[in-house]
Amino acid sequence: MSRKYDLHTHSTASDGTLTPPELIALAAAKGVDVLALTDHDTLAGLAAARMAADAAGLILSPGVEISVTWGGRTIHIIGLGIDPRNQALCAGLAGLSAYRRRRAEAIGQRLAKEGIEGAFEGARAFSNGRLIGRTHFARFLVQRGYASDEREVFKHYLVKGKPGHVAGDWASLEAAVGWIRGAGGQAVIAHPGRYHFTRAKLLRLIGEFRVLGGVGIEVVSGSHTRDECLLFARYAQENRLLASVGSDFHGPGNPWTELGGMAPLPSFCTPIWADWEEQRLPRAVFE
Ligand code: AMP
Ligand code: MN
Ligand code: MN
Ligand code: MN
């Protein structure tokens, strides 16, 4: 039987709009069999997701999406099948959460210089006291009428060269892959199409990532076009990386990513879940 996998999703533990149980319920309704919850730099949603998934009969892979500074840019590395109790991983993510708080204060100060008052407090209210990110600023600025939607806010306020931009100072690639591997997980390069790297730079990333023990790359992603899916499928094949599939779902009403709604992997790819039945998922589920 072929299962439906969605291995990149967000909840209210980071910048998603559904709580972990709401996300699990929607995934089950959409026919997803195996879901990874991969919130940005936090494992805070995993316990509630686990309970809801067990009740719904859905297979949950505990995950995370780690913010990394590499080659002068921010990239994202997904960890799948991690042990949420692993201390080094938890300590590393706690450091990133603390940095997020400092960065959010700096973003607030920069926006204040542009005459936008109260953005830090507003973003924090949207984050509900949990992990804070640029998406929470985007929601606040839309609410205040500075832009019509979150995409517009990013374009005009939150990216490089714009008033609310603060350059990221995230984990090193070595640290992120090390935390994931140390917690028993598989490290995956998230949405490579989003970085607009040259071929040479992407190959350099893949080379360093593999040396560190990274094993996968997202081939099918909510932020990839069909052509990009095929392109990254070839990168996976040529560089002996396992292929992952994830919507990068952040909530309903987002026009470009639907939970569990992705195209299948090209048949020449080796899926990241190829060995999961023996190693990473509860045995009983497969018997
Ligand atoms: P952060 O990790 O706080 O820098 O925020 C990154 C998050 O912002 C991503 O995971 C997306 O959820 C969101 N994001 C980034 N770029 C855009 C964009 N152009 N439009 C809408 N959301 C975006
Ligand atoms: Mn996000
Ligand atoms: Mn991402
Ligand atoms: Mn994501």
Q: How high is the pLDDT of residue 119?
A: 98
150 lines ligand 1 (CB under 6 A): yes
**Order of all β-strands in the sheet with 34-37:** 5-6, 34-37, 59-70, 73-80, 186-189, 216-221, 242-246
67 lines ligand 1 (CB under 6 A): yes
Nearest residue CA, atom 5 of ligand 1? Answer: 134
Distance 266 CA to ligand 1 centre (A): 27
d(CA 151, CA 148): 8
d(CA 156, CA 108): 15
154 lines ligand 1 (CB under 6 A): yes
Distance 150 CA to ligand 1 centre (A): 9
The ligand that comes nearest to the alpha carbon of residue 249 is 4
Nearest residue CA, atom 21 of ligand 1? Answer: 151
| Non-local CB neighbours of 287 within 8 Å, separated by 6+ positions | none
Q: How high is the pLDDT of residue 63?
A: 98
| Residue-range domains of the chain with CATH | 5-93+172-286 (3.20.20.140), 97-158 (1.10.150.650)
At 122-152, the pLDDT tens digits run 999 999 989 999 999 999 999 999 999 999 9
Q: Is the distance from CB of 41 to CB of 131 less than 8 angstroms?
A: yes
Q: How high is the pLDDT of residue 277?
A: 78
Q: What is the pTM of this model?
A: 0.96
Type of residue at 46: L
Atom number in ligand 1 closest to CA 40? 2
Q: Which residues in 7-47 belong to E strands, given as ranges?
A: 34-37
| Non-local CB neighbours of 228 within 8 Å, separated by 6+ positions | 193, 221
Q: How high is the pLDDT of residue 284?
A: 47
Which residues of the chain fall short of a pLDDT of 50? 283-284, 286-287
Tokens 């996998």 identify what position?
5
